[in-house]
Structure 1
Amino acid sequence: MNPTTLRDLRTTLAELRRYETRLTPGETTPQLLRELDQGLSLARRLVAAAGDLPVTGCRTHPDGPVDREAGGGCLLCNTRRRAAAATRPEDVPVEDVLTAIAEHGHEEAVRRYGPRPVARALATAGRHTTSNLPPEHR
């Protein structure tokens, strides 16, 4: 069972118990009954959802989104792992980065490949990474 849903259900039920003492002929108002109805509706939704919400099994994000592509597990952690396993900056050919800089500009190359491969490509090509700064900042 999803621990967040269970916690929310316990909190909602505790709030509903407070209405027990307020339901007297002198204190019961239409507003109080509306509040009670909203609390009961929330409790019903939480009970209905308690069995339907999947659990990620992740210690960091136990109530986080579930990765449907990987057949379960934490979407946040799996996305981070996939990104780390993707092309590393060292794997990007220097020629590709230099071509991107020449064709699309420095900023676009950094967006595509990241700052490290761009700096590495510029250093390999004998260019300075500060060549676009004003002379007083070089």
Structure 2
Amino acid sequence: MSDPQVNYKDYEKTQEPKRPLLKNCIKAFLIGGLICVFGQVISTIYMYFFDFTEQTVGNPTVATLIFITMLLTGFGIYDRIAQFAGAGTAVPVTGFGNAVISAAIEHRTEGFVQGVGGNMFKLAGSVILFGVFSAFIIAFIKTIFSYWSGA
């Protein structure tokens, strides 16, 4: 006599719909690429009209992309784009902006400090922490190599 749990798992596998992996990858690639092209257009506009250089245009471009993402998330548009594109919207910096504002919107009923502020920075805090820590490690390694090479 066979085990009913094993039989059910086998049956479940036969009934599970196949995921269109290649189609999902192509959508993520195209939408993520379009977001990056849009970011490049913003950079070019800042350099052409506002006299930023290639070295200084990064911060305002990222801030603009995050601001636009937060507006689109607030109006529910970014979630529909993310539903279609999947990881294509999560990988660029816009995914970070969406995650931060989504947490803020979700917890707004708990108040501005504990709800919005506290939950919004749960994600942002870890990103900032690992960013600063990674920068420290890379700078430390670079300093050691510079010291050993005599530069």
Q: TM-score, normalised by structure 2?
A: 0.26
More helix by share: 2
Asked which structure has the greater CA Rg, the reply is 1
**Structure with higher RCO (Cα < 8 A, 6+ apart):** 2
